[in-house]
Amino acid sequence: MVDKAIELFDCGHRACGGCGAALAARLVMKGAGKNTIVVSATGCMEVFSTPYPETAWKVPWIHSLFENASAVASGIEASLKMQGREEKVVIMAGDGATFDIGMICISGAFERGHDFTYICYDNEAYMNTGIQRSGATPYDASTTTSPSGSCSFGNKLPKKDMPQILAAHGAPYVATASIAYPADLMQKIEKAVRTKGPCYVQVHAPCCTGWGFEGEQTIAIAKLAIETGLWVNYEMVDGKVSKVKKVVRKPVEEYLKTQKRFRHLFKPTRQDAEIAHIQSIADKNAEKYGIDIKLKKE
């Protein structure tokens, strides 16, 4: 067991107040422990934590580029192996670095089976460059490159299923987690880091600035994502779903209404068809992962 009281991500970083990714960084490091080398991809987390010389990282940390973190980690792992060293390698990358531009390096690294843990903190867009859409942006979210408008409801594409893609590479451990459930998140990280081979944990990390809500709501919104079935927390061991967080589901509207990126679905007029479509995404998730808790009627 790692000592979760140790803070390995320091104060003084420049994340927005209430940033989900900053909380993710803290919690991930608590789960990973201090015998860890972190590889960051370019993005909000890298930028808010390491303007020279003010690093927030208390563990060895390296950043090279936006799209090569898993290749850099491959080299580090190979080097550690050759030196007979025991440190664990943990990648911290945003959804853009993971779902989009880093895919070739990620696929290669997972195929090769390096012993590392890849953590995607998923804030569902390219936040560092000003909230552009990524392959992780949910359906109908308005971003600066998928804006809602008189003939658009925002992002037209569904969220890519990265966990399944990496499970299909043979990753021994794949999990989704959320900053709203810190204990579960830390436990999953610890498990991933302990598991030999390339593991993947995708952490839902709401971004107040990019999604349009007050920083104090970060956890409440992350919880709503799970309670509506739009985000599912689960584990996959050797490609099989083994543990799923079950909920008494709420209508997706309750989640959508909290964020400016979905405001066009309610104002100036309510877009019933679009909301129904998003509800169908949640329903499919619920069915696929069996998240519904059935309440007994009295």
Ligand X SMILES: Cc1ncc(C[n+]2csc(CCOP(=O)(O)OP(=O)(O)O)c2C)c(N)n1
**Interacting residue ranges for ligand X, rule: CB under 6 A:** 21, 42-45, 66-67, 94-97, 123, 126-129, 134
Report the nearest approach of Mg ion to the CB of residue 130 (Å). 11
- Cβ–Cβ < 8 Å for 92, 127: no
CA-CA distance, 79 to 84, in Å (whole number)? 9
Comparing C-alpha atoms, which of 193, 285, 198 is closest to residue 245? 285
Query: Does the bond joining 198 to the residue before it have cis omega, within 30 degrees of 0?
Result: no
For ligand SF4, the binding residues in 106-135 under the rule CB under 6 A are: 123, 127
- Residue 209 binds what, of Mg ion, ligand X, ligand SF4, none (CB under 5 to 8 Å, by partner type)? ligand SF4
217 binds, among Mg ion, other proteins, ligand SF4, none (CB under 5 to 8 A by kind): other proteins
State which amino acid sits at residue 231: W
Using CB under 6 A as the binding rule, whether residue 219 contacts ligand SF4 is answered as: no
* Residue of 107, 145, 209, 271 that binds ligand SF4 (CB under 6 A): 209
CB of 124 to ligand X, least distance (A): 8
Contact in structure between 211 and 261 (CB atoms under 8 Å): yes
**Maximum Cα interatomic distance, the chain, rounded to a whole number of Å:** 64
CB closer to ligand SF4 out of 125 and 226 = 125
* Closest to ligand SF4 by CB, 70 or 123: 123
Site for ligand SF4 in 30-89 (CB under 6 A): 44, 48
**If binding is defined by CB under 6 A, does position 203 make contact with ligand SF4?**
no
Do 113 and 170 form a contact (C-beta atoms < 8 A)?
Answer: yes
Cα–Cα dist 175/191, whole Å: 10
Write the single-letter amino acid at 258: T
Secondary structure of residue 146 in the 3-state scheme: coil
Decide: is 15 part of the binding site for ligand SF4 (CB under 6 A). yes
**Least distance from ligand X to the Cβ atom of residue 203, Å:** 11
Task: Report the residue from 49, 98, 123, 142 that binds Mg ion according to the rule CB under 5 A.
Answer: 123
Q: Least distance in Å: CB of 144 to ligand X?
A: 11
> How many residues at the interface with ligand SF4, by CB under 6 A?
12
Pattern 71-100, Mg ion, x by CB under 5 A: -----------------------xx-----
| Residue for token pair 């499919």 | 284
Cα distances from 110 to residues 87, 92, 118, 187, 280, in angstroms, run: 19, 15, 10, 22, 32
Q: In the numeric block, which tokens belong to residue 233?
A: 């927390």
d(CA 90, CA 3): 17
Q: Does 208 bind ligand SF4 (CB under 6 A)?
A: yes
Residue 122, class by beta-carbon neighbours within 10 Å (0-12 exposed, 13-18 middle, 19+ buried)?
buried
The listed partner (ligand X, Mg ion, other proteins, none) that binds 45, CB under 5 to 8 Å by sort, is ligand X
- Residue 39 binds which entry of ligand SF4, other proteins, Mg ion, none, CB below 5-8 Å type-dependent: other proteins
Q: Which residues here bind Mg ion, judged by CB under 5 A?
A: 94-95, 123, 127
